Amino acid sequence: MPVRVQLIRRHTLTHGNSIYWVAFSADGQQLATASLDNTVGLWSAADGARMGTLKGHGDGVTYVAFLPGDRLLSAGLDKSVRIWKLAEQALEKSFAGHQAYLSCAAVNSQGARVVTGGFDRAVRVNDIGSTASLAVFDGHAANVQAVAISSDGRRVISGSDDTTIRLWDVETQKPLQILNGHTRAVEGLAYGPGDAWFASAGADGGLRVCSPDGELLRSVEVPKTRFKSVAVAADGRWLATGDVEGRVRLWERETLQEMTTVAAHRNTVFSVAFSPDGTRLASAGFDRSAFVWDVAIT
Amino acid sequence: MTGQLGSGSLFCDGMSRRTMLQVGALAMGGLSLPNLLQVEAATGRKSHKAVIMIFLSGGPPHQDMVDLKPEAPVEIRGEFEPIATNVPGIEICEHLPLLAQRTDRLAIIRSLVGSDGRHAAFQCLTGHKVLNQPAGGWPAFGSVISKLKGPVQEGSLPFVSLSPKTRNGAWGDPGQPGFAGEAHAPFAPNREAAQFTLNGLSVANLQNRKQLLEGIDRLQREAGRSGAFEGLAKHYESAFGILTSSQLMNALDVEQEDPRILEKYGRGAVENAGYGDAGPLRNEYLLAARRLVEAGARVVTLAYGRWDWHGRPHGTNFENARDHFPQFDQGLTALLDDLEDRGLDKDVSVVVWGEFGRTPIINKNGGRDHWPQVACALLAGGGMRTGQVIGSTNRLGEHPHERPVHFQEVFATLYHNMGIDVSQVTLPDRTGRPQWLVDPIYQPLPELV
């Protein structure tokens, strides 16, 4: 029997301006959204109710992730990375380093390290606990648009308007690989479970799955499509993509077969995220909305 | 309209001192409750010539709205396709489908020139550039109309600006009275914040007239001791009457509108657009503008949205356009339909524009930058000959190809629509020197009048 996948919209979360990132908490009970309205929204995943708003960024917020210990990390165009105590919804600490807009970030699965990329073409890695800078990688020839970090925080990948994906070793602070598979900007990157592979999505309509060392394992190209975001389900079975036409697609990772497509947003989908148990998907867009979807597999 | 008085400290009722002073300033001069009620009773709908000016803060992309260049190179033509309109031969953006079906009611200027190149509403409000102003400063169009035409009826306000206070003050500029005099400054109910409030007081608060008047009595006593309000212009008295009149409150309170009409306009964000620096993308203000005209306003201005789309990371030109265009399409369409349905379309002119156009070449961040060389404008109503395009740009949308139209020609047309002959009328500046409303070389657009 062929598998049938459906996305059923459950909740709508709204901001006063575009939403650039959405993330589930580790228990799947909460969502956080990062918005160009300079705030982070906190939401109940159960009913979509707003639970709080974190204010403090001086420009749009581009990334948000829940951390262990009831904390949250946000990063913004004001170049700052901020750590918040969720119980008090208060700022714990912040740090900065980029010399131009901080456009993307990722936290490793242990919640210990954060990688950030910016319009200064730099990729930076910091220890979240101490805020110490662990590495600064220069090499991209244009804005960095996407980053990902391995679960142990030792490897980083970055994608850029220069169309390359670069692999970096945090411990040696050395570049490992330059991948030239995409023909337009690399807009989304995500590691699979166990860092066994990573997925990249580009403005060329390409969705690629590569080994940790950059060997192309599988790829697909969707004509007249510009991907803006990609996410990997925790079990690695599914990929989700968002594009500039507002579509959210679900893919079977093994085959890169397109399982379902939803005209989800009225504008670019900047972020997609699976819940930890894989039963829900969240999407966030330039239309000031984030949606929570049930992932129905029959 | 009121001065920047007070320190911002709060009264015990939560009303800021500044707000109270502003409201109180309107009440000075011994305006009594019977007077107020008399003013309130002065109602009655009467059609009159009026102008609604919609300022697209930041400069809309002419080549993506109404002057698409599908044959241009990819780095210029952009992401959008042109669509046919209900006027054969005229095409506009695919994301303006409702307006495309009403293009017979629009005059599309594709060759607007003379931009000052500033990020400011000033030129779209006055017709003039910022530098080298005559003594007292150029008055806004609404202030000139207020000076020359006065109120439609006793108790009505000639000039209302719905623009809120914005982080970029020049985008939220309600319009300066200049040498027309302070008495002709706009009534600007949204200046305290981007909310539908009257100098900080909500409509609901104002409806508690007794409480308000008690507050004003208290303020009068305080002011009497301080002498702070002696000599305030008489128009403040009148304005206060309007402020507290049900006519104005009703006009501003769009929730009183037929829900079907409200639905046609659609809603919008209460907050200022973009990053707090531009007017809200709020279609209720377009409806409020029509209601204000019906309540006696001759000129209503508003700043609508944030159109300064330089690109990522604040969204590409096209992401922002996909955000703004549909709402603008719905709102302006509703306004045009509404004016026609109510028989106001011959009397009420509508102008929609920004301070400049945008660069033909899309920058590396997917944005378009400032392009004062040419811009676009939409005109409607006012008895103008619509259903036409005036002017054109060259193949790449860089500069006028045919019939450049100066900002001041548009103003001359709007003055004409208000019954004012710009070749005859002058106003004295602060030195007494007569000033033409527009440079004498400019006349109303013959294509339209």
- pLDDT of residue B228 exceeding 80: no
pLDDT in tens, B350-378: 999 999 999 999 999 999 999 999 999 99
Percent of residues, chain A, with pLDDT higher than 90: 99
CB contact under 8 A, B275 and A268: no
Q: Which of A98, A247, A266, A268 to mutate to test the interface with B (most CBs of B within 10 A)?
A: A268
* pLDDT of B219: 54
CA-nearest of B290, B298, B387 to B339 is B290
Q: How far apart are CA B279 and CA B265, in angstroms?
A: 17
* pLDDT of A255: 97
Structure tokens at A129: 């606990």
A157 with A212: CB under 8 angstroms?
no
The mean pLDDT of B417-427, rounded to a whole number, is: 97
- pLDDT of residue B406 exceeding 60: yes
* pLDDT of B33: 34
CA-nearest of A149, A186, A188 to A171 is A149
CB contact under 8 A, B319 and A103: no
* pLDDT of B327: 96
Contact residues on chain B for A16, CB-CB shorter than 8 A: 269, 271
* pLDDT of B319: 97
Q: How far apart are CA B153 and CA B156, in angstroms?
A: 6
Smallest CA–CA distance, residue B18 to chain A, in Å, is 27
DSSP symbol at A243: E
CB contact under 8 A, A268 and B319: yes
Beta-carbon contacts of residue A137 (< 8 Å; ≥ 6 apart): A122, A123, A124, A125, A156, A158, A166, A168, A173, A175
Cis peptide before B313 (omega within 30 of 0): yes
Contact residues on chain A for B312, CB-CB shorter than 8 A: 103, 143
A78-90 burial, b at 16+ Cβ within 10 Å, e below that, comes to bbbbbbbebeeee
CA-nearest of B395, B447, B368 to B61 is B368
- How many cross-chain Cβ pairs, A to B, lie less than 8 Å apart? 43
- The alpha carbon of B51 is separated from its chain's Cα centroid by a whole number of angstroms, namely 9
DSSP symbol at B15: -
CA-nearest of B120, B60, B71 to B96 is B60
Contact residues on chain B for A77, CB-CB shorter than 8 A: 313-314
Split at pLDDT 50, 70, 90, the class of B41 is very low
* pLDDT of B167: 84
A101–chain B Cβ distance below 8 A for any pair: yes
Nearest CB neighbour to B313, from listed A101, A268, A288: A101
Number of H helices, E strands in chain A: 0, 28
A127–chain B Cβ distance below 8 A for any pair: no
The chain-wide mean pLDDT, for chain B, equals 84
CA dihedral for A7, A13, A15, A19, sign (positive or negative): negative
Q: Which of B81, B322, B330 to mutate to test the interface with A (most CBs of A within 10 A)?
A: B322
Split at pLDDT 50, 70, 90, the class of B432 is very high
- pLDDT of residue B132 exceeding 60: yes
Percent of residues, chain A, with pLDDT higher than 70: 100
A241–chain B Cβ distance below 8 A for any pair: no
B380 with B101: CB under 8 angstroms?
no
Burial (0-12, 13-18, 19+ Cβ within 10 Å), A113:
buried
Four-CA torsion B378, B382, B386, B391, nearest 10 degrees: -50
Split at pLDDT 50, 70, 90, the class of B275 is confident
DSSP symbol at A4: -
- pLDDT of residue B198 exceeding 60: no
CA dihedral for A242, A52, A101, A92, sign (positive or negative): negative
* pLDDT of B29: 29
- pLDDT of residue A67 exceeding 90: yes
Residue written as token pair 């003013």: B39
Q: How far apart are CA B69 and CA B57, in angstroms?
A: 23
CB contact under 8 A, B364 and A142: yes
Split at pLDDT 50, 70, 90, the class of B37 is very low
B58: left (phi over 0), alpha (psi -120 to 50) or beta: left
- pLDDT of residue A61 exceeding 90: yes
Higher pLDDT, B274 or A226: A226
* pLDDT of B185: 95
Beta-carbon contacts of residue A116 (< 8 Å; ≥ 6 apart): A63, A75, A81, A97, A98, A102, A104, A105, A123, A124, A125, A126, A147
Q: Which residues pair with A64 in a beta bridge?
A: A74
End-to-end alpha carbon distance in chain B: 33
**Which residues does B contribute to its contact with A (CB < 8 Å)?**
269, 271, 274-275, 312-315, 319, 322-323, 326, 364-365
Percent of residues, chain B, with pLDDT higher than 70: 78
B395-421 burial, b at 16+ Cβ within 10 Å, e below that, comes to ebbbebeeebbbbbbbbbbbbbbbebe
Continuous segment of H or E residues that includes residue B242 = helix B234-243
Residues of A (143-162) whose Cβ lies below 8 Å from B: 143, 161
The mean pLDDT of B97-120, rounded to a whole number, is: 97
* pLDDT of B22: 37
- pLDDT of residue B290 exceeding 90: yes
The mean pLDDT of B291-296, rounded to a whole number, is: 94
The mean pLDDT of A69-95, rounded to a whole number, is: 97
* pLDDT of B264: 97
Split at pLDDT 50, 70, 90, the class of B248 is confident
Structure tokens at A154: 């030792």
* pLDDT of B238: 55
Higher pLDDT, B207 or A197: A197
A8–chain B Cβ distance below 8 A for any pair: no
Split at pLDDT 50, 70, 90, the class of B23 is very low
pLDDT in tens, B308-362: 999 999 999 999 999 999 999 999 999 999 999 999 999 999 999 999 999 999 9
pLDDT in tens, A128-160: 999 999 999 999 999 999 999 999 999 999 999
CB contact under 8 A, B314 and A143: no
DSSP symbol at B16: B
pTM exceeding 0.95: no
From A184-193, A271-280, B18-27, B167-176, the region with the lowest mean pLDDT: B18-27
Percent of residues, chain B, with pLDDT higher than 90: 69
- pLDDT of residue A52 exceeding 90: yes
